[in-house]
């Protein structure tokens, strides 16, 4: 698996390029700035972008969708709950005050249990509402891309539209906690002591996942 990580946009989102070295297909997660640089990195790696995937609909993660789609022709994938909510006029006005214009509608809706196929690679969509109603994580090949659901040593904020602390904790404990201990955690921002972690480490140290074992 080809994996490239870039810090992009005004809020330092971590954008991930994932490629299949055998088939030359790629997807990008949360392209939220520096779109020309990201597109060049994809082509320079001999890859063709097949999907633009959003972990959730917050504009700091979706603000690059339109330009990335124009550069590559790849469709935008997002959970329906966020695509609908973040096109609501009241929600748009909240984030417009932050300096973000609304992203165009998603092209394809993804749901819990779906598989996103990138050449010979397969990534399972895990619906993890709480940070937002349509937040998802992507799990495959020993990695979980957690967006703003789970950070290294922390979890996503729940004070924005559609957020729920109780729902977030339930998502973490029901769907992220049970993943194999050696799964590498790749979050949507570098807010911790390191940019990555493992499920085992988070279970030991993250107050949202910590166990007594």
pLDDT at 188 over 70: yes
In a domain, 28, yes or no: yes
Determine what percent of the chain falls in helix, strand and coil, rounding each to the nearest 5.
Answer: 25, 30, 45
pTM of the entire structure? Answer: 0.94
Domain region containing 110: 2-205
Residue 192 · residue 151 · CB < 8 Å: yes
In a domain, 213, yes or no: no
115 closest CA partner among 106, 125, 128, 107:
125
148-183 pLDDT, tens digit per residue, is: 999 999 999 998 888 999 999 999 999 999 999 999
Spatial separation of the C-alpha atoms in residues 35 and 145, rounded to whole Å = 20
**Domains identified in the chain, total number:** 1
In a domain, 211, yes or no: no
- Of the pLDDT bands very low, low, confident and very high (cuts 50, 70, 90), residue 130 is very high
Tokens of 110: 């993804």
Q: Of 121 and 100, which is predicted with more confidence?
A: 121
Tokens of 123: 């990534």
pLDDT score at 91: 77
Mean pLDDT in the chain? 93
In a domain, 9, yes or no: yes
* DSSP states of 125-159: EEE-TTSSTT-EEEEETTEEEEETTEETTEE----
CATH number at residue 165: 3.60.15.10
12-59 pLDDT, tens digit per residue, is: 999 999 999 999 999 999 999 899 999 999 999 999 999 999 999 888
In a domain, 139, yes or no: yes
Q: In the chain, what percentage of residues exceed pLDDT 70? A: 99
83 closest CA partner among 45, 135, 37, 121:
135
In a domain, 53, yes or no: yes
In a domain, 112, yes or no: yes
């Amino acid at each position: 698996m080809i994996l490239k990580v870039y810090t992009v946009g005004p809020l330092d989102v971590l954008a991930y390029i994932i490629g299949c070295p055998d088939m030359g297909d790629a997807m990008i997660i949360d392209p939220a700035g520096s779109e020309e640089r990201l597109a060049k990195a994809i082509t320079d790696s001999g890859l063709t972008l097949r999907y633009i995937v959003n972990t959730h609909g917050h504009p700091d993660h979706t603000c690059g969708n339109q330009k990335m789609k124009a550069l590559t022709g790849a469709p935008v994938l997002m959970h329906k709950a966020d695509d609908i909510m973040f096109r609501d006029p009241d929600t748009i006005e909240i984030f417009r005050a932050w300096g973000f214009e609304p992203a165009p509608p998603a092209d394809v809706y993804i749901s819990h249990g779906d598989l996103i196929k990138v050449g010979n690679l397969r990534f399972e969509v895990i619906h993890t509402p709480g940070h937002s109603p349509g937040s998802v994580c992507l799990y495959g090949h020993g990695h979980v891309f957690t967006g703003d659901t789970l950070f290294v040593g922390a979890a996503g904020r729940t004070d924005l539209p559609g957020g729920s602390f109780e729902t977030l904790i339930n998502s973490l404990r029901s769907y992220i906690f049970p993943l194999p201990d050696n799964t590498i955690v790749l979050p949507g921002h570098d807010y911790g002591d390191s940019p990555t972690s493992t499920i085992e480490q988070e279970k030991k140290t993250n107050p949202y996942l910590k166990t007594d074992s």
